[in-house]
Amino acid sequence: MSKVDFIKYEGLGNDFVLVDDTTDPRDFGADAVARICDRHFGVGADGLILVRPSENAEARMCFYNPDGSEAEMCGNGIRAFAKYLFDSTRVQAMSFKVETGGGLNTVSVILDGRSVSAARVDMGTPSFKSSDVPALVPTVEAVDVPIDLGDWSTTATCVSMGNPHCVLFVDDALGAMVDEVGPRIETLPIFPRRTNVEFAEVTGPGDIRLRVWERGAGETLACGTGACAAAAAAARTGRTGRRVVVHLPGGDLEISWEADDRLFMTGPVNEVFRGTFEMESFAAPGPTEPIERSDSTP
């Protein structure tokens, strides 16, 4: 049996299973990833993070959604990744580069004693270009574009943060129809790589209340790239300034969109526990049919 060591991390309740796959790369197929992330049959997480070698950075972060699909980037996940690299002494600098599917990101760690408690991440430059998102809309920039579900319609501003986002501005984020509308927008044909969907309520010039339907995951307690996308979209459309606090169900993220167009995200990260699983135990699917009970079963 192949034993795999892992560490469980969380950032604002967005939780991840991290595996250092540097020296012994494994083939994590979509079914295995989904089983590992399953909260009943697996470890339970919003995603799987693999640590892989990189020629251009300290390490490469490979990120998989809980449905087994690979994502370009994860904002909360990269803080967990940075904490692992620093706390394990893989890196000793306070600022270093991480390679992701969305490009290179510079991460600056924030310490509590000798351990990383938070990180500030250079998330790059937001792009509203339809071709970058990508979004198949007739305008060069996907700003205030119509979203039509047939029985429900609105306008949205779409942003690439290295991964696709569709930001909807709503009057009440807490009452938004995230579970009903989110999955339908995620799979609209205008989004060839699917999309994350943000439900953003601007509560002040420097504050946004946010809920996110994540591509391949559903609603989560927090989404780092989603917070960045919402902040960029709010500033781009004149709803806020370029420095905001984004209030998510799991906590707050500080977002700063600087004059050079680089956008920075600052937020906490915690190690939850460590463990080991048998790789073979995730090779076969778990029960899919309900357990039949006799009438006499209480």
| pLDDT tens, position by position, 32-69 | 999 999 999 999 999 999 999 999 999 999 999 999 99
Give the torsion sign (CA, 270, 72, 130, 148).
negative
Q: What percentage of the chain has pLDDT greater than the value 70? A: 94
Confidence of residue 2 (pLDDT cuts 50, 70, 90): confident
- One domain for residues 106 and 153: no
pLDDT digits 0-9 by tens, 245-256: 999 999 999 999
Q: How many domains does the chain have?
A: 2
Instruction: Please answer whether residues 127 and 133 qualify as being in contact, where contact means their C-beta atoms are separated by less than 8 angstroms.
Output: yes
Q: Per the domain annotation, does 24 fall within a domain?
A: yes
The pair of three-digit structure tokens given for residue 170, joined into one six-digit string: 């709503």
- One domain for residues 246 and 277: no
Looking at residue 280, its pLDDT comes to 82
Q: Per the domain annotation, does 289 fall within a domain?
A: no
Alpha helices in 130-257 (DSSP H): 178-186, 224-236
Q: Per the domain annotation, does 288 fall within a domain?
A: no
Q: What is the mean pLDDT of residues 216-221?
A: 97
Looking at residue 295, its pLDDT comes to 44
Whether residue 107 is predicted with pLDDT greater than 60 in this model: the reply is: yes
- One domain for residues 275 and 244: no
Looking at residue 285, its pLDDT comes to 55
- One domain for residues 100 and 164: no
Parallel, antiparallel, or unpaired for β 196-204 and 103-112?
unpaired
- One domain for residues 276 and 251: no
Confidence of residue 296 (pLDDT cuts 50, 70, 90): very low
Q: Per the domain annotation, does 160 fall within a domain?
A: yes
- Determine the 3-state secondary structure of 8 from DSSP: strand
- One domain for residues 254 and 235: yes
Whether residue 279 is predicted with pLDDT greater than 90 in this model: the reply is: no
Placement of tokens 């998989």 in the chain: 64
pLDDT digits 0-9 by tens, 75-97: 999 999 999 999 999 999 999 99
- One domain for residues 103 and 21: yes
* Residues in CB range of 213: below 8 A, 6 or more apart: 178, 179, 181, 182, 183, 185, 186, 196, 197, 199, 219
Residue 41 lies in domain? 3-123+270-282
Give the torsion sign (CA, 114, 115, 120, 121).
positive
* C-alpha pair distances (Å), 225 with each of 210, 220, 277, 290: 12, 12, 29, 37
- One domain for residues 195 and 117: no
DSSP one-letter string for 184-195: HHHT-TT-TT--
Catalytic status, residue 166: no
- One domain for residues 239 and 275: no
Side chain identity at residue 161, one-letter code: M
**Nearest CA-CA partner of 75 in 269, 286, 260, 244:** 269
Peptide bond before residue 134 is cis, with ω within 30 degrees of 0: yes
Side chain identity at residue 24, one-letter code: D
Answer with the residue of higher pLDDT: 99 or 295.
99
Of 111-120, 204-213, 275-284, give the lowest mean pLDDT range. Answer: 275-284
Parallel, antiparallel, or unpaired for β 70-71 and 59-64?
antiparallel
Catalytic status, residue 62: no
Side chain identity at residue 283, one-letter code: A
Write the CATH number for 38. 3.10.310.10
**Nearest CA-CA partner of 141 in 157, 125, 154:** 157
Query: Considering the entire predicted model, what is its pTM?
Result: 0.91
Pick the catalytic residue from 74, 158, 166, 228: 74
Pick the catalytic residue from 37, 62, 158, 223: 223
d(CA 96, CA 39): 33
